[in-house]
Amino acid sequence: MEESLIWFEKGVTLFEKGNYHDAITAFDKAIAINPKIAEAWHNRGLALFQTGQYRNALLSFNNTLSINPQHENAKNCKKIILEQLDEQKNPDNKSLPQKIAVDGNYANLWPRMKSWLVDSLIILLFYFFLTLSIDALIYPFVGYTDDTKSVALLISTVLTIFFVFPLYFAYYESSIYQATLGKQFFNIFVTDLSGKRLTFSRALMRFFLRTVMTYGPIFIPFTMCAINFSSKKQGIHDKIIGTMVFNESTNESTLDR
């Protein structure tokens, strides 16, 4: 193996461990030996970004694109850094930041299932609170009877299924967190196919389609198999809507690799 590739792979390993400064040194050594390795420049840019050296990172991505003009991840990273630099120059800029996906770091079925259980528990607790609240509102007018309890349960059930559930998922997955509370707990988040944050309408469509695919008994095994065996760990709903779910490699935002 060429010495440049040895240093490159060492840099990748250090980067994945969160040792960004040493990773930069390793990528520098790889580039010094062979300055035509586009991925070395690109990964150097990623590491520089993680240490807050945006301008140096931008230079690395420019070098990546000079070697490989079709490097889509480098294009996306460059765009994001330019937006970051613009926000620094214009602090009144109200544009919101977003998480940035690491190509290949897709979330598999297990953390997605665990996050769904957490989200379901959160909404279940809200459902109980909503039921008690509606019951308390009805009580002064009709008193406490079995019918009152049934009406409260009916109203809270309808509101939870048709409003709370979809709005909860759509709001959080289209927010700057790009993840519900359950997904945030397990450090996974949702993007479109270009790694960008979803719009509210797209997140809402994703929820309804996922619901059909998840709760329809015929589709459950197909959805699970699709996530497990898809190269990008996409469920059937992800493929139709055009979304992906990523792991966060660190607690900080990370750029496309």
pLDDT in tens, 171-189: 999 987 889 999 999 989 9
- Strands 188-192 and 243-247 turn out to be antiparallel
Q: Where are the domains of the chain?
A: 3-89, 109-247
For the ranges 98-102, 110-114, 218-222, 251-255, the maximum mean pLDDT occurs at: 110-114
Report whether 78 contacts 49 (CB < 8 A): no
Whole-angstrom distance, CA of residue 66 vs CA of residue 149:
68
**CATH superfamily assigned to domain 3-89:** Tetratricopeptide repeat domain (1.25.40.10)
Residue-wise pLDDT tens digits, 15-47: 998 899 999 999 999 999 999 999 999 999 999
Give every CB contact of residue 119 below 8 A, 6+ residues apart in sequence.
Answer: 168, 169, 180, 181, 182, 183
